[in-house]
Amino acid sequence: MIHGGAGVIQRERTSPETDAGVRAALNRALDAGTAILAGGGTALDAVEAAVRVLEDDPNFNAGRGAALTIDCAAELDAAIMDGSNRAAGSVAGVTTTRNPVTLARAVMEQSAHVLLGREGADAFSVAHDLDQAGPDWFIIPERRRQLDELIAGGGKFDVDMKYGTVGAVARDTHGHLAAATSTGGVTGKRWGRIGDSPLIGAGTYADDRACAVSCTGAGEFFIRLGVAHEIAARVRLAGEDVQTAVNAVMAEVVALGGTGGVIVAGADGAPAWYFTTPGMYRGRVTSDGIRTVAIYDDE
């Protein structure tokens, strides 16, 4: 399962070109992850591959096309987690790595740490020979326009209420789960703001005993509730099915005033997604080839 963000995503506000571009990208990401799983590969490889596709596509707020800070910079966050052993890696505020999800995986596998930030994470990326990119890759005209609109309107962040965070969850043929999430944050963020995406247990979590979760939405609320871990805990400790756990936790997000969505893969492969907004870019494919790609809430 994959997502490309939730928010005020409506047919009447979406051009045919954007609709088609988003659906094509979601299908490419599903293809990338499915090819790995169909060949007996790991869920970890599958979620990284799917997220890399979405990071490279400017229709989403991750990697190329990331939302811009108030200073017109792209500061990128990402996380990845292996449900088989609960190993995890994440990065926050990175500026030079083309695919932040791959940097997060390098932190998990090639360091003694879980979360690296800003200049240190950028240096770690260079030291480990990951693909680098500059502002000319990350910053696209539409994101500049959104930032200008926000500033002209008084500077309240996230002018369009679109959380274009991307993510993936998977279960492989070995029965293992994995989750990955990547984001540019919110338009107009400042002071080094970090949302839920790179925080293990808030925006990203995977545990073979329960489920794999990737979140998108108003990050401050997801952090306060520890949404990803809370869903997994309800499944593992309370014995709830995945959809019941998702519904309950997202109801708490709404009660606090937050909005957003989640995708979840259960330990048995049971899929669930849920969003509180008019739309969420999303897709899923099963081992028997059934594929769903959708954008709006009536799909």
pLDDT digits (tens, 9 = 90+) for 77-112: 999 999 999 999 999 999 999 999 999 999 999 999
78: Cβ–Cβ under 8 A, 6 or more apart, which residues? 51, 62, 90, 91, 94, 100, 101, 103, 104, 180, 181, 182, 183, 197, 198
- pLDDT tens string 65-77: 999 999 999 999 9
**77 close to 90: Cβ distance less than 8 angstroms:** yes
What does the pLDDT average to over 122-146? 96
Main-chain dihedrals φ then ψ at residue 210, nearest 5 degrees: -140, -75
Nearest to 149 by CA among 63, 231, 59, 67: 67
Residue 65 zone, left/alpha/beta (φ > 0; ψ -120 to 50; rest): left
Report the alpha-carbon distance of residue 139 to residue 132 in Å, rounded: 14
Q: Is the pTM of this model over 0.85?
A: yes
pLDDT at 156 over 70: no
Collapse the DSSP code of 228 into the 3-class scheme (helix H, G, I; strand E, B; otherwise coil) and give the result.
helix
- Token pair, residue 121, equals 């994470």
What does the pLDDT average to over 206-230? 97
**180 close to 79: Cβ distance less than 8 angstroms:** yes
Active-site residue flag, 183: no
Residue of 165, 187, 276, 277 marked catalytic: 165
Report the alpha-carbon distance of residue 214 to residue 175 in Å, rounded: 18
**91 close to 104: Cβ distance less than 8 angstroms:** yes
What does the pLDDT average to over 25-51? 98
Query: According to the model, what pLDDT value does residue 9 have?
Result: 87
Query: According to the model, what pLDDT value does residue 153 have?
Result: 82
pLDDT at 283 over 60: yes
pLDDT at 159 over 70: no
